[in-house]
Structure formats: C-alpha cells, structure tokens
Structure 1
Amino acid sequence: MELQDRLQQLSDQGIGVAAISYDSEEVLADFAQRRGITFPLLSDDDSEVITEFGILNTVAYEMQGPNRDDPEVVADVAKYVSVFGAPPMIAGTPFPGTFMVDRRGRVTSRFFEEFYRERNTTANILLKLGGGLSPIEAVRGETAHLKLTAYPSNPSITIGTRFSLAVEIEPNPNIHIYAPGAEEMGYRVISFDLAPVPHVRYEPVEFPESEIYYFEPLDERVPTYQRPFTLLQEAVVLGGADAEEALAQLDALTLSGTLNYQACDDKICFEPVSLPLSFTLDLDLLDRQRVNR
C-alpha cells in the first residue's frame, strides 16, 4: 500500500498520516494485518465525523429508498457508489478523498474525485502540492540545450489510479525554452505529448508559471522558461468494469510519447527538438477481500 510504503518519506517532510473509514474496528484491524499497515486507521462506524466533514455519500441511501429503480438514481449509484449497486452495508460510506490539515487542524487543501473508483495516489498529491519526491526509475537525458529527468509518480498502478508523469527540465546557461503563449509569436512551445493508450485518460499538461524574455532587436516580450521547471502530465487508469476486465490480462502498462521544444539563446533560435520518452508501470490487482462489518 502506497501510504505505508511512503510513511517514512512523509514523516521526513513533516506529514503525518491517518485514514478514516465507516468500517468497523474489526474490518480495519483485519485490513491492517493483511497489508502490514502501521499508521492509524480510524473507525467512524456511525459516520458522525464523515458527516461533519461534509463528505457523507448520500447517493448510497437513494438506492435504499422508493426511487431505487429510477434510471438517474441507478446511474448515480454506478458513478458515486458502486458499479455493483448499493447494498445496505454501503450506507454511511464517504466520498473517497484526501484532506491536508495543518497543525492547527485547518484544512489547507483537499483532493476528491467525481467517480468513486478514481483515486489520487499519495505521490501524485505531493507532486501537485510542489512536494519533493525521490524519482522512481527515472529517465535522464541531455541535449545541447537542456538536461532532463522524467519519472512516474508511482512505479505501480491499478484500476482507477490517478497518477502523474513528471518531467524536470534544466535549461543550459543563457538558454530559454518557449512557454505557452509564445505560439502567438510563431515560436514552438514546449509540449509533452503521449500516445493514446486504451483505458487511460490524460488530463491537460500542467505548466508552471513562465517568465518574460525581452528580445531587444525585435522588441519582443515572449513567455519562456530560463530556470529549472517541471511539467506534470496527469493520467487516470479508467475505473469501469470493461477497463478492469481488459487490464486484468496485463502485468504492466507502457506509456510512450515525446517531449517537444524549441530553444534559443541571446543570438540564435535553434531547430525544434523532439525527444522520445517511455514509462513502463506495473499493474496491480485491487484488494477486494474484507471481513464483515
């Protein structure tokens, strides 16, 4: 389990971990023993705290009511509760997500999903918050204009995993790389383009804030990157039943694409460059084993 595997790294960054569930102490104890979990698993079996945080999944109750056969209710249950329906034992479950809380108990950020089977990884959350990660199976490269380190947030993924591919780029001295907005002036903006993969959805690439480069001979002010920066490509392994069936036949998933950019110095703009990048991630099975609540 990723949280357990990264427990020391999180502690080194001053981050504590606790998980809360509507499951009973017996269910959580069984899960912790099977998965070797040492951080607190908190039982909120009456969903009191879940309700106070405003994340009680009320859709689960609709399936127990008079409108349970309504097509809209059935569709909502499949999206927000379970593709297998909502038996009475599901009532009380929260919408799955993560809160980041400071030492004063104030929520500083939160991460929740539309589809209950899609979950952010711990590493992905840290990357989005700007936290450092030890690159896993990093791809390192160098061109005449820059150095790069590319790596996945997670070495293994499963159905519904929301993760990121990070590309850390360090331009060489006196080199600038064109950032979004520079295309309006005819320059080639840096991009990270991945080939489509069945049952994987790509989100738009996240670009950091750029800085303006002033090119006096043409009186141009162009958005560029001149200092080290990171591109984040977020991806989601789809959580539907068809994706689960198809991916169950695989041990790994390979994502391939290219990093494309144009670089210039103070005197000359170089030819555009395309660098191939590839990442192979292990595929894990979901843990569906549980004891009775």
Structure 2
Amino acid sequence: MELQSRYDDIKKQGLGLVAVSYDPVETIKKFADSRGIAFPIVSDPGSTIIKQYGLLNETIDPKTRFYGVPHPGTFMLDSKGVVTARYFEDAYQERSTVNSILVRQASGMQGAPGAIRSDTMHLTVLTSISDTDVAPGKRISITFDVTPKKLMHVYAPGKHDYQVIGVKLDPQPWLRLQPAKYPPSEIYHFKELDEKVETYGKPFRIVQDITILATPDAQKLLAASPTVKISGRLEYQACDDKVCYAPTR
C-alpha cells in the first residue's frame, strides 16, 4: 500500500496522515493488521464525516451494498481542520501518487533530487518527475523550476500577446494531460512603451500533472513495454530591460 510505504516520508514533510472509512472498527483493525498499516484509520459509522466534507457519492443507488462509498481523494487540512487543498480524480481507478501530492504542496522548493538542468541565454531550468515507477491509473507530476537570468523576465498567462512560458508535451495514447499549474505572477512595467504585463522575473515553478490511463487500450499498450517515454519541450519568450527576444523552444 503506497500510503503506508511513504508514511515516514510524509511525516518528514511535517505532515500527518489519517484515512476515513465507513467500515466498523473491527473491520478496519483486521484490514490494518493484515497489511501492517501504522497510520490512523477513522471509523465513520453512518458516513457522518464523509457527508460533512461532501464526499458521499450520491450517484450510487441507496438500495445497493455499494451505497456509502465516498468519492476517492485527498484533503489537505491545517491545524484547525480547514481544508487548504484537495486532490480528486474523475474515476475510481485513478489516484494521485504520494510524491505528486508532495510536489504540489511544496511549490516553493527549487529543484528535486535527480533534476535535469538546462541552460539558455535567458534562463536556467531544472526538470524533475515525481515518480519513475508508475502503474495505470496513477497521476504523476513533472516540475519545471525556472530561474530567469539577470535582468531577464518571461511572460506569465495574462492579457497580452507575448509568448507565455508553457509546457508542450508530445501526445501519447496512454496518457492524459491536466492543465499546467502556474504560480502568481508579477506586473512588469516596460517604461519605453508604457506597457504593463504579467511576467516572472524571479525563480518560479510550473507543475504539469499527467495521468497514466487505466483504460483497456492503454493498459494493452503499456504492457507491451517495461518502459515508456514522456517527451516534449518548454516554450517561452524572454525580454530584458531593453530587448525582447524571439520566442524560444
């Protein structure tokens, strides 16, 4: 079980871990003991907690034994019990990996172990992937830690016609891309044109989430090879305080 195998890593990040189940205490204890689970699993009779957090799957017929099964996902709560982030998938077969969630939580980190460095005249990029061993249905994250060079800035999403820095991954029949996640930008005032646009001039991180599909066709393709390749490019346009350079990839 991935959560148990990564429990120590989760605690090292200063986080706790609690699972919630509608099963009775006896069933949970038997399950936890048989799998060596050390983190707390809360019994939620009547799905009180599940309903409070809006997790009850109301699309299941109440007359069936499957009624009460919650939507699968992960909530991040602060010390007061306030939800600060949530990670949910559209299908029960899909789950974000622990590493992927930790990457998205640690948005201020620059560079991960094993990151690949790329340098251009405009910026430095450290590219890393949250997981290298994955199974169908897992959502993983590719991170791009970007550091613009001195006096340089690149363009963030916004109301302008410049080339926004972005990830362009090559399509594959066994993966699905989620929209890339960008941090808040800053406004750059180009005095010569009296122009104000959204930019990044300081180190920042782009996170591109990818789901390895669990469809029959995708699993057939994945089973044909022990490894797969995710390829693509980073596109951007950089400017300094005097010159705007041609779009780059």
The answer, yes or no, to whether TM exceeds 0.5 is yes
Q: What are structure 1's unaligned runs of at least 5 residues?
A: 65-87, 275-293
How many corresponding residue pairs? Answer: 244
Partners in 1 of 2:53 and 2:164 — Cα distance? 42
Partners in 1 of 2:156 and 2:56 — Cα distance? 42
Partners in 2 of 1:152 and 1:261 — Cα distance? 20
Partners in 1 of 2:214 and 2:45 — Cα distance? 26
Q: Equivalent residue of 2:228, what SS?
A: strand
Q: Does structure 1 residue 103 correspond to structure 2 residue 107? A: no
Partners in 2 of 1:224 and 1:182 — Cα distance? 11
Q: Does structure 1 residue 268 correspond to structure 2 residue 243? A: yes
Q: How does 1:193-212 map to 2 (within 5 A)?
A: 193-212=168-187
Q: Equivalent residue of 1:116, what SS?
A: coil
Q: Equivalent residue of 1:150, what SS?
A: strand
In structure 2, the CA distance between the partners of 1:192 and 1:63, relative to structure 1 (3 Å rule), is: farther
Q: Does structure 1 residue 157 correspond to structure 2 residue 161? A: no
Which residue identity lines up with residue 145 of structure 1 in the other structure? H
Shift of residue 154 of structure 1?
Answer: 2.1
Which of 209, 220, 225 aligns to 1:250? It is 225
CA contact (8 A) 1:210 1:223 kept: yes
Q: Equivalent residue of 2:17, what SS?
A: coil
Which residue identity lines up with residue 107 of structure 1 in the other structure? V
In structure 2, the CA distance between the partners of 1:213 and 1:108, relative to structure 1 (3 Å rule), is: closer
Shift of residue 149 of structure 1?
Answer: 0.6
TM-score by length of 2: 0.84
Which residue identity lines up with residue 11 of structure 1 in the other structure? K
**Identical positions, percent:** 40
Partners in 1 of 2:227 and 2:42 — Cα distance? 33
Shift of residue 46 of structure 1?
Answer: 6.2
Q: What are structure 2's unaligned runs of at least 5 residues?
A: none
Shift of residue 266 of structure 1?
Answer: 1.4
Shift of residue 193 of structure 1?
Answer: 0.3
Partners in 2 of 1:207 and 1:215 — Cα distance? 22
CA contact (8 A) 2:32 2:38 kept: no
TM-score by length of 1: 0.72
**In structure 2, what is the equivalent of residue 80 of structure 1?**
none
Q: Does structure 1 residue 225 correspond to structure 2 residue 200? A: yes
Partners in 1 of 2:85 and 2:235 — Cα distance? 32
Q: Deviations over 1:229-248 (max 9, x none)?
A: 11111111223233233323
**In structure 1, what is the equivalent of residue 151 of structure 2?**
174
Shift of residue 144 of structure 1?
Answer: 1.4
Q: How does 1:32-111 map to 2 (within 5 A)?
A: 32-33=35-36, 37-44=37-44, 47=47, 49-61=49-61, 64=64, 88=65, 90-111=66-87
CA contact (8 A) 2:50 2:70 kept: yes
Partners in 2 of 1:132 and 1:228 — Cα distance? 9
Q: Equivalent residue of 2:131, what SS?
A: coil
Shift of residue 111 of structure 1?
Answer: 2.4
**In structure 2, what is the equivalent of residue 135 of structure 1?**
112
